[in-house]
Structure 1
């Protein structure tokens, strides 16, 4: 069973605080939504979860294993991935 734990996540870009004290837990086969206005930090949060960027502070655990310090490919191997609304990984390839 999947368990995702996000604890006291903060992310700053220079002097701009984008995420502040984000804490939540997802257990098992749950469907969750992440909604908010433009600039609310949704993409920043998903980038932290998949390892694309590192948090300023806080932790992310997947099945009780800390993953916020791992590179993206290791996070994916651990079982956490993402998809995009428009898939265009390679624009010039068919």
Structure 2
């Protein structure tokens, strides 16, 4: 089973054994929203937040970049990318892909 965020033990069987698994980074937007007020700190525009179901079945909440709000829709295919933060770290974001 896949779990996100990572946990110290399996929430089903309470095992502490775990294994890191490489994922494809590809997924489908299941739901999305835009927080319009107040303006989110650190963003030039209101970010699009989406619930993404990865091809492996894991669901992940992240921002969507590279698509205008009026073009956003449930069912679009996305690929993970990593955006720099002002603190020098990288965070996962998703961008539309054409298939």
Q: Which of the two has greater strand per residue?
A: 2
Q: Which of the two has greater helix per residue?
A: 1
Where relative contact order (Cα < 8 A, 6+ residues apart) is larger, the structure is: 1
Specify if TM > 0.5. Answer: no
TM-score after normalising by structure 1: 0.21
TM-score after normalising by structure 2: 0.21
